[in-house]
Amino acid sequence: MSEKQLNNIESKKLDSNGDGIVWEYRESQIDFFITLILSLPFAIFFCSLLIEGIHKFSNRNDTSLFMTLLLLFCAFICIYPSYRLIKLLNQKALYLTKENIVVEKYIGKTIIAPLGISYISNYSSIWGTAIFGMSSELTFYRIDSEHYKKISFILAFGCGNIEELYSYLLPKLETYLIGLQEEEYIECKIVLNIDGKMDSRIDFNKIERLRKEQENAM
């Protein structure tokens, strides 16, 4: 995303606090309903399994610790698809200003966290494809701070305009990496390779070349 495009976005839309929005998540209604239609039957099915399991558990004499823990584990497995579907339905908006990440909800308090130097992980799995309606979970991490609020957002099928988000965050991340001391740079590189889904998009060869040029110029 070019600087001109960002300026155009900022001039067109402001958030409720009057801050310019530099990126806003957009998805098609068709993609949203695909996820909804695919995930709703699984949510209902797992809830019915949970109710049936509780009923059978309460009517038997074996109420040992093992059976209790097993039921609690199964309850978590069964409830999570429903929880994720509810979270998807309750999401109103996700956008970035120059300073913050903002997640608005239909019910509940708006989440606002400092953007800093953020990178993102867009996680999906076979289970996600089968049970969660081909949705994925977008998570924001901070590379420049150990103490931050992790923000997650459920993306419907197709992931909307996430490529624009990559285009906005990547140059900031690369500039930050170029300016780090060697030890800090190595630590950040390890972190990005462990849990950052942006790592494959980062041109580390270019960054290390620019780091050397910067070092030689000193």
Specify the length of the chain in residues: 218
For every residue of 146-195, DSSP letters joined together read SS---EEEEEPTT-TTHHHHHHHHHHHHHHHHHTS-HHHHHHHHHHHHHH
- Rounded CA gap, 117 and 87, in Å? 26
Average pLDDT over residues 166-195: 87
Express each pLDDT in 126-180 by its tens digit. 555 666 667 888 889 888 887 777 889 998 887 789 889 999 999 999 999 999 9
CA atoms within 13 A on the CB side of 197: 14
Tell me whether residue 1 is exposed, middle or buried, using C-beta atoms within 10 angstroms of its C-beta: 0 to 12, 13 to 18, 19 or more: middle
Express each pLDDT in 14-67 by its tens digit. 666 667 899 999 988 888 888 888 888 877 777 777 777 677 666 665 556 666
Which pLDDT score is estimated for 24? 94
Q: Does pLDDT of 185 surpass 50?
A: yes
pTM: 0.75
Q: Does pLDDT of 190 surpass 90?
A: no
Which pLDDT score is estimated for 85? 85
Count of CB atoms within 10 A of residue 2's CB? 8
Express each pLDDT in 86-99 by its tens digit. 898 999 999 999 89
Which pLDDT score is estimated for 10? 45
Q: Lowest mean pLDDT of 72-86, 134-148, 202-216, name the range.
A: 72-86
Which pLDDT score is estimated for 128? 58
Q: Return the beta strands (E) in the chain as ranges.
A: 21-24, 91-97, 100-105, 111-114, 118-123, 136-142, 151-155
Burial 140-174, CB ≥16 within 10 A → b, else e: bbbbeeeebeebebbbbbbbbebebbbbbbbebbb
- Rounded CA gap, 82 and 43, in Å? 5
Q: Which of 97, 85, 120, 82 is nearest to 201 (CA)?
A: 120
Lookup: tokens for 212: 């050397």
Alpha helix segments (H runs only) across 91-147:
126-131
